[in-house]
Amino acid sequence: MLPNDIDLSPYIDYAILDPAASDEQIDYACEQADRFGFASLCVYPCNVKRVKERLLKTKVEICTVIGFPSGATTSNVKLYEAMEAVENGATELDVVINFGWLKTGQTNLLHQDIAQICEESGKTVKAILELGLLTPDEQELAAEISMDAGVAFLKTGTGWAGGATVEMVKFLKGMSRGKVGVKASGGIRTREQAIALLNAGATRLGTSHGAAIARV
């Protein structure tokens, strides 16, 4: 069990995923990420280059989202988006899986969709599973396929279809078998929530409330 006064900053993927975020808001997020020493700053692909320039001399990883939030773009588009993001400076890629392929049994396509990004990017890939939209069997299949494809993290969801729960994290922790990390994302607004999710097995927390959570 983690102590209540633990520094949570190293666990936080600080997210600014408001499509209407201004350059000033992105710059402020960079300042916050550097100040607190968050694990990463997660932004849309169009902001990656700007973030790289501002975090160049820091230890903060640059995270972006791929196929966000639906996961329903083509594999070629996802791969292009991922590789362009890497070229622009992204070091971590949160990739939304194709839920339609999962639900219709097109597991080979789903595996290839994720694996090609893992293989060609060479970066940390987190598979966004959107657990709230899946049946228990689909959740297990999504996790297994994602791990087999080479992801470094299993992620609870985008945050657009409900928040992360302790139960979701425990499930992913069990599925991971210690082989990959677990990222909880969505609706994390307090230290109490954050610590409960970490105690359940999360190794990263995706949140836009990083500063409030990090402060003791």
Catalytic residues: 94, 155, 183
What whole-number distance in Å separates Cα of residue 113 and Cα of residue 146?
10
Please return the burial class of 205, using the count of CB atoms within 10 Å of its CB with bins 0-12, 13-18 and 19+. buried
Amino acid at 57: K
Cβ 16 vs Cβ 208: under 8 Å: yes
Six token digits for residue 95: 């990739």
Backbone dihedral angles phi then psi of residue 134, each to the nearest 5 degrees: -115, 150
